[in-house]
Amino acid sequence: MREIDRLARAIPRCTACPELRAYCARVAREKRRAFASEEYWGRPVPGFGDPQASIWILGLAPAAHGGNRTGRIFTGDRSGDFLFAGLHRAGLANQPHSVACDDGLSLRGVWISASLRCAPPGNRPTPDELETCARWLDAERSALANVRVVFCLGGIAWNAALDLEVRHGFVLPKPRPRFGHGARFCAGGRTLVGCYHVSQQNTFTGRLTPAMFEAAIAMAVKESGSRAAGSRSSPRSRTAGPRGRSPNP
Ligand code: SF4
């Protein structure tokens, strides 16, 4: 079994944060009225995408009624609508929507995961929770051998990516490189590219526009040396997500 497949099985079983697990399970029981007939995932959400990815998109955490419902990160919520539409325009996804694990979405040259794998109350993870969950970033880093760019959605992901490289031997300069939209920082063999998070708060207010996202992801593609963009017709991986047991068959 590939290491990335092993992680897809192991992450949903993680119980390192009992309070977060209890919150996710409670959300899954109580549900939102619009999804009352659905069975929520209600567990930690693993990453998904192309195991040969050169670009690793790192978000904040699953949404309570998005990833925590569908079992796939950025799937079933407005943030995902914005993100996957942008990836589709860039030629990195075979379709512009992401509504469920069996919706046929495939990514090319891209892996997506989050700094925290359980949905946190108020979408606000604590520093302790992020530190505890960093174990899965370490494991993913080892499994994703071809990653050249970490595309950080927001400041929390940026700092998680920096800390990840530090844990693996990179010495940070002082002052610490700061997150910004379009920020770029070379941390050893990997380049961090910053992009405002695709949250509704940012996209509905115009803080992050589709054009801004396109420019940032184009920078990531260029930095990665990826040949993925512009190849919509031949996605590299089918991503069934954790409910299909193998995220990348
Ligand atoms: S937040 Fe991360 S470390 Fe904590 S229970 Fe969820 S998956 Fe495990």
pLDDT in tens, 204-235: 999 999 999 999 999 999 999 964 554 443 44
Ligand 1 mean position, distance from CA 142 (Å): 18
Cβ atoms of 236 and 52 within 8 Å: the answer is yes
Strand partners, 110: 55
133 lines ligand 1 (CB under 6 A): yes
Query: Residue 216's pLDDT is what?
Result: 98
| H or E stretch at 155 | helix 155-167
Ligand 1 midpoint to CA 17 (Å): 5
Q: State whether residue 106 is helix, strand or coil.
A: strand
Helices 127-143, 3-10: inter-axial angle, 10-degree rounding = 150
Say if ligand 1 is within 6 A of residue 88 CB: no
CA distance 156 to 158: 5
Query: Is 114 near ligand 1, meaning CB less than 6 Å away?
Result: no
Domains and CATH numbers, the chain: 3-227 (3.40.470.10)
* Among protein residues, the one whose CA lies closest to atom 6 of ligand 1: 118
Measure CA 154 to chain center.
11
- d(C-alpha 37, C-alpha 35), whole Å: 6
| Cβ neighbours of residue 120 closer than 8 Å, sequence gap 6 or more | 20, 23, 61, 126, 129
- 23 Cα–ligand 1 center, Å: 12
Give the number of the atom of ligand 1 that is nearest the alpha carbon of residue 125: 1
Record the pTM: 0.92
Q: What does the pLDDT read at residue 243?
A: 54
Tokens of residue 186, six digits: 């070379």
Question: What pLDDT, in 10s, does the model give residues 162-188?
Answer: 999 999 999 999 999 999 999 999 998
Q: Which residues of 70-81 are buried (b: 16+ CB within 10 A; e: fewer)?
A: bbbbbbbbebbb
pLDDT digits (tens, 9 = 90+) for 71-126: 999 999 999 999 999 999 999 999 999 999 999 999 999 999 999 999 999 999 99
Q: Which atom of ligand 1 is nearest to the CA of 14?
A: 8
